[in-house]
A and B are shown apart, each in its own frame.
Chain A
């Protein structure tokens, strides 16, 4: 790997490991310190490597520097404790054994514990996703801001509040016990699902970054799969869902980085390896008696890996959306269910059902109505597409709807 690319690459792979191990060692109260130590370590590498030459083992160099910095931090804390602790009731990490364990096993274990800590149900979802991106995925503040289409200051503030919130909770990073597991795991899966969707459906134009976000969500989900007590059917179903979606990465962008809609994609560009992986995990997920929303969504995504339209396919998708909506309502599922209903029972039967959804602030509601009316009443169809256009915010959505209008 060329030297110029080595450090950014190491930053992406090692920053999060160092932060997780440090965070576990120092305690969640000192998460900011863990991040600072890891950042300082990389800063030193950026400053010294060009002059002193590349270390023989760059990763080991980073770990050694982080270790020293952690030791210094702990010593200062210890000193502070001895002098000030009698006057202040503040929690500080134990300082007896300042060695940092950066073995592969401890890194994995620390990341897993951190995942459960950051996805604690008492933290707001926004804080969970932000912290996960920073601590577990090693994303820079600018990258996070870009993914959420906001400013660096906003993200900094959001992360600051999230760390404060975490500090107030006073919990230690642990993998939950058997009795707590399903509830805590559900909260982790919600965050991973959000993380993936943020990448998959983000309005950010940075497609590379968006795919990175999805791949990170998949990596963290895989972390749960590798750990026997968390390798459970809903986790397997979520990974299957992610694999099916990710299989369309290459097919959904054209040469200039615009998104191509599903029906216009060249299915020979779908990644068959990821589809096979998804199918494998979906089979795994079928063991046991739980039927989570991830099972239903993964099965729907599985049907979409078969491009050809058959009555069987749409009947299956309709029934899956029925079940999904019974489990948990969402406007997206309601719209997709009605689209499937039209495929099975025809537009005439689907129109009254679509109108009942009454999602009058949702552009896709009008896109659906426009589409259903297209063959029956062109004028009505045009009116709906125009309403959708008025609600569309991104240039990409506006372009797609204009295209539909022009084709009427």
Chain B
């Protein structure tokens, strides 16, 4: 069994959602993750709120969040257990982030200690 990170990419992190909308997303996200956990395929994860984000650039400059300069932002991630990337893609299908046009879920295998990166 491999582990894969499912990274939620939002096309425009500056979009403001209403509290009701946020609550609905939250429930949908929990239902989606709960469904993965019910198959004993959930390993961990975190939401990454957009507010209070900082970016440190190579010239030591610190900016407030990646917004503006970078078009896509990461809204969170979960780690799942799957036999293959295909299975991880199947698990990702229900992710509510995908309801937003232009949003995506990136699926990346997690390197294990015994493998070369």
Contacts and interface: CB of A to CB of B under 8 A. Distances in A.
Contacts of A329: 37-38, 40, 42
A2 B74 CA distance: 74
B27 interface: yes
Contacts, number: 43
B99 interface: no
Interface string A308-343: 000000010011011101100100011001100100
B42 A325 contact: yes
Contact of B37 (A315, A322, A358): A322
A319 B27 CA distance: 8
Interface in A280-334: 315, 318-319, 321-323, 325-326, 329, 333-334
A358 B40 CA distance: 10
Contact of B35 (A315, A323, A333, A353): A353
A326 B39 CA distance: 11
A157 interface: no
A177 B37 CA distance: 35
Interface in B29-44: 30-31, 33-35, 37-40, 42
Contacts of A338: 38
Majority DSSP secondary structure for residues of B touching A: helix
B36 to A, nearest CB: 9
Contacts of B34: 318, 321-323, 325-326, 337
Contacts of B37: 322, 325-326, 329, 334
Interface in B15-30: 27, 30
Interface string A337-362: 11001000000000001001110000
Nearest to A326: B37
Interface residues of A, number: 18
Nearest to B40: A329
B40 to A, nearest CB: 4
Contacts of B30: 319, 322-323
Contacts of B27: 315, 319
A335 to B, nearest CB: 8
Contacts of B39: 334, 356-358
Contacts of B33: 322, 326
A356 B40 CA distance: 10
Contact of A357 (B31, B38, B42): B38
Contacts of A315: 27
Contacts of A337: 34, 38
Interface in B58-107: none
Nearest to B45: A326
Which 7 A-B residue pairings sit nearest by Cβ, starting from the closest? A322-B34, A325-B37, A334-B38, A329-B40, A322-B30, A326-B37, A337-B38
Interface of B: 27, 30-31, 33-35, 37-40, 42
Given A329-B40, A337-B34, 16 more contacts: A315-B27, A318-B31, A319-B27, A322-B33, A323-B30, A323-B34, A325-B37, A325-B38, A325-B42, A326-B33, A334-B37, A334-B40, A341-B35, A353-B35, A356-B35, A356-B39
16 contacts: A318-B31, A318-B34, A319-B27, A321-B34, A322-B30, A322-B34, A323-B34, A325-B38, A326-B33, A326-B34, A326-B37, A326-B42, A334-B37, A337-B38, A356-B39, A357-B38
